[in-house]
Amino acid sequence: MKNVIYLLRIGELNQSILSNLKKNLEDKFKEFNIKVEILQDVMKLKNSEYDTERKQYEAPKILKRLVETAKIENFFRILGIIDKDIYSKTYNFIFGIAGRGSHAALISLARLRESFYDNISVIYKRKESPRDFEERILKEAIHELGHTFGLKHCYNNCIMQFSNSLADTDKKPVKFCASCLQQLKINL
Ligand SMILES: [Zn+2]
Ligand SMILES: [Zn+2]
């Protein structure tokens, strides 16, 4: 369907994470007349997508399957959500991946939890907040979808800033800067 972002579970994923993301994304994309739906299917992970030495999944391989699904189903956009650590060749890990101007994106929740890191409490000095976790998921989802809408990384105070760490993700706002917003409206 036109102007619908479809959310797809990849492997095991908590249902409430998905429904919160749907609600939050819908809020953010309402002004562009874009809806969000949760697909009932689950994409199963393949052994060939797992690197046993790195103990991570290879994101581009999963993204490729999402791109194929989008093509077959004629989806406007598909966003895969995985609760496992992912990487691509050039990075030790990534929070998400998307081809610029493509119809598919992928985000990983693994490193959005403070409990993933050994010494993060030194930085934050507080208990993990479920609200922070929810907002990080939203930020990474919007960021990767932004790439599918043709946006590049941005150096303004903007959700399209590149994140190299959880602190980077926490620092960036949950909105597009004026210039990205303008570009987005042209591309939509
Ligand atoms: Zn990016
Ligand atoms: Zn921007």
- Using the mean position of ligand 1's atoms as its centre, give its distance from the Cα of residue 50 in Å: 22
Give this prediction's pTM: 0.95
Please write down the HEC assignment for all residues of the chain.
CCCEEEEEEECCCCHHHHHHHHHHHHHHHHHHCCEEEEEEEEECCCHHHEECCCCEEEHHHHHHHHHHHHHHHCCCEEEEEECCCEEECCEEEECEEECCCCCEEEEECHHHCHHHCCCHHHHHCCCCCHHHHHHHHHHHHHHHHHHHCCCCCCCCCCCCCCCCCHHHHHHCCCCCCHHHHHHHHHHC
CATH topology of domain 4-187: Collagenase (Catalytic Domain) (3.40.390)
122 CA distance to ligand 2 middle (Å): 30
The CA 160 to ligand 1 mean position distance, Å, reads: 6
Annotated active-site residue 140? The verdict is no
Neighbours of 185 (CB within 10 A): 12
> How remote is the CA of residue 146 from the centroid of ligand 2, in Å?
10
pLDDT at 126: 65
Tokens (6 digits) for 66? 């999402």
Tell me the chain's radius of gyration from C-alpha atoms. 16
> How confident is the model at residue 121, as a pLDDT?
57
**Phi, psi angle pair for 187, to nearest 5°:** -75, -25
Is the sign of the CA dihedral 136, 140, 141, 146 positive or negative? positive
User: What is the Å distance from ligand 2's center to 176 Cα?
Assistant: 5
The predicted pLDDT at position 22 comes to 98
Q: What pLDDT score does 122 carry?
A: 53
Q: Which of 49, 58, 140, 144 is catalytic?
A: 144
Ligand nearest to the CA of 155: 2
User: How confident is the model at residue 77, as a pLDDT?
Assistant: 97
Distance 163 CA to ligand 1 centre (A): 7
Nearest ligand, measured from the Cα of 99:
1
The ligand with the least distance to the CA atom of 143 is 1
pLDDT of residue 116: 86
State the 10-residue block means of pLDDT for the chain, 188 residues long: 92 95 97 96 97 96 97 97 95 94 96 81 67 96 97 98 94 97 95
pLDDT of residue 32: 93
